[in-house]
Amino acid sequence: MATTRRAQALDLAVFFHHHEATRLLLAARASLEGGFSAAVLHAANADNAEGIRLLCASGTRPLSRSLFGVSALQCAAGLSAAEALEELVAQALPNSCELSRALFDATAFKGGSAELVQRLISLRADVDFQMSSSRDFSALGRLLLATKSLQHRFGTSSVVKMLAYHLNGTTPLMQAIRSAQFEAAAALIAAGARLDLRNSKNWTAADFARNQAIPRFLQLGLEGAEWDRQKRIDKGKKQYAVPASSVEEFHEEEEKMVDALLDRLKKKAESEGKPVGGGDDDDDAEAKPAKRKKAAPAEEGEEEPEKVTKKAKKARKQAEEEEDEDE
């Protein structure tokens, strides 16, 4: 059996989960890297964790790439092959850049479940990763992307052509919205994905949502992109809110805001000719109501004025009642 045929046979064995055939081919020294792509990529596409273990034990590179520069980890993420992804992570210990590429492919294709997105983020994938064709693809991959991008530009549109056209600078959040994987998009926003980033065509995540029937929960999340930080601060100040990033800053800014408000009210009162307190002593005088003077105690043999008044009222009432009886 020729080397090429051995490689093709190995690709088929791992893709269809034939573990015994895989062991026999590996024992016969079948090529691990030959053909269009390495056998480990076919195992990743088929979510064959056992096949990946067998290939890695025989010396294959777990992060092998295709002719276009796509790694096995990206294949597993893009096809939601969770078991294969976990095995590749265990075998290769990928860095943040490799994990971020996998997150991008998961949201660009059909691997964008909330669980997979959260798993990749927990492994150190960057939620704001921006794809670059010059950095993340081989020369053949860049040539293919350039061709598809030109086709999209001149009117022959398709999903792959649109992806190629918008690829550079695009984030996982943009791809999740473009591919209508809305749970993944919500998970990315919840993880702190930036809404203001733009790709090479000056599109934001909100631009990819146009003309799409996106769920209400995602629409609410994207509406935050239309309010930048300063606008939110200005709106809060109009409602007497105090923008702050710590408790100490809040107390300090709150005191400044109250002082400014009091100064403004004083100036307004002065312009209207109303009396305004002059200083701290006046403020203290207003804060402490004047105490009522305690009446001097009545001298011995004299009754207090309040009691005298009550007795007079009572006597007047009795006199009126007697006059009514005489009549």
Q: What is the DSSP string of 66-110?
A: -TTS-BHHHHHHHTT-HHHHHHHHHHH---HHHHHHHHHHHHHTT
| Domain termination site, one of 94, 115, 142 | 94
Q: Each residue of 61-89: pLDDT tens digit?
A: 999 999 999 999 999 999 999 999 999 99
Q: Which domain holds residue 233?
A: 228-270
Show the tokens assigned to 10.
């190995």
Residue 238 counted as domain residue: yes
Q: Each residue of 243-253: pLDDT tens digit?
A: 665 667 777 77
Total of domains in the chain: 2
| Domain termination site, one of 71, 94, 117 | 94
Residue 244 counted as domain residue: yes
Q: Each residue of 42-53: pLDDT tens digit?
A: 999 999 999 999
CB 128 within 8 A of CB 171: yes
Residue 137 counted as domain residue: no
Residue 142 counted as domain residue: no
Portion of the chain with pLDDT greater than 90, in percent: 55
Q: Which amino acid is at 17?
A: H
Q: Each residue of 261-305: pLDDT tens digit?
A: 888 888 888 888 877 665 554 455 444 555 554 545 555 555 555
pTM of the full predicted structure? 0.67
Residue 220: per-residue pLDDT:
85
Residue 1: per-residue pLDDT:
36
Residue 46 counted as domain residue: yes
Give Cβ neighbours of residue 151 (< 8 Å, ≥ 6 apart).
161
Rounded to whole angstroms, the Cα distance separating 46 from 80 reads 10
Residue 3 counted as domain residue: yes
Q: To which residue do tokens 């701290």 refer?
A: 280
Given a cut of 50, whether residue 235 has pLDDT beyond it is: yes
Residue 90 counted as domain residue: yes
CB 104 within 8 A of CB 129: yes
DSSP string, 185-220: HHHHHHTT--SS---TTS--HHHHTTTS---HHHHH
| Domain termination site, one of 62, 94, 126 | 94
Q: Each residue of 115-157: pLDDT tens digit?
A: 999 999 999 999 999 999 999 999 999 999 999 999 999 888 8
Residue 135 counted as domain residue: no
Q: What is the dihedral of CA 171, 173, 176, 181, to 10 degrees?
A: 160
Q: Is 2 exposed, middle or buried (CB count within 10 Å of its CB: 0-12, 13-18, 19+)?
A: exposed
CATH code, domain carrying 1:
1.25.40.20
